[in-house]
């Protein structure tokens, strides 16, 4: 019976190792998602800074340059939004895997606890049986 517990403990340790690795990956994905969000915020702020106020005198060349720059900035902003969306999807997927792996670890803990309790009950029954036999022997020897 103790061999079974050792086997389950080995399996549980493997599951814990996988869980720890997933936690590290989750932390990295979380940092990446946060970085994508910061870049998106920066690009959106930058886009607002390059607006031409109405009524101000500007040359056509300057307007054309600002227009091209804003177009490129809009393209970059859209790409960054896509990167952020992909990163968020990966993060949600990682959350799901992390929860599932945590369940595996907890299941291993429960199995180990159950098996150890069975071993304990079996030992207690054996001890009680020995005590009963000793008590019976004592009783018969006194008579």
Q: What is the pLDDT of residues 76-89, one digit of tens each?
A: 999 999 999 999 99
Rounded Cα–Cα distance for residues 70 and 48 (Å)? 9
Residue with the bigger pLDDT between 113 and 48: it is: 113
pLDDT, position 72: 92
Question: Which domains are assigned to the chain?
Answer: 2-142 (1.10.287.1700)
Residue-wise pLDDT for 25-68, tens only, equals 999 999 999 999 999 999 988 877 766 555 566 778 877 888 88
Please, which contacts does 79-87 make with residues 24 or more away whose CB atoms are closer than 8 Å?
A: 80/36, 80/39, 80/40, 80/43, 81/40, 83/36, 84/33, 84/36, 84/37, 84/40, 87/29, 87/32, 87/33, 87/36
pLDDT, position 93: 96
Give the pTM: 0.71
Q: What is the rounded average pLDDT for all residues in the chain?
A: 89
Cα dist from 109 to 24, 105, 138, 142, whole Å? 22, 6, 43, 49
pLDDT band at 139 (very low <50, low <70, confident <90, very high): confident
């Amino acid at each position: 019976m103790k061999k079974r517990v050792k086997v389950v403990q080995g399996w549980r340790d493997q599951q814990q190792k996988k869980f720890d690795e997933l936690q590290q990956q989750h932390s990295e994905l979380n940092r990446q998602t946060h970085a994508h969000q910061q870049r998106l915020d920066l690009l959106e702020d930058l886009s607002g800074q390059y607006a031409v106020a109405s009524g101000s005198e500007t040359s056509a060349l300057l307007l054309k340059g600002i227009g091209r720059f804003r177009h490129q900035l809009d393209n970059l902003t859209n790409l960054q939004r896509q990167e952020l969306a992909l990163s968020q999807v990966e993060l949600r997927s990682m959350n799901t895997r992390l929860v599932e792996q945590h369940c595996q670890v907890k299941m291993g803990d429960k199995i180990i606890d159950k098996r150890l309790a069975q071993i304990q009950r079996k030992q207690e029954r054996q001890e009680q049986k020995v005590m009963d036999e000793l008590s019976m022997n004592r009783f018969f020897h006194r008579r």
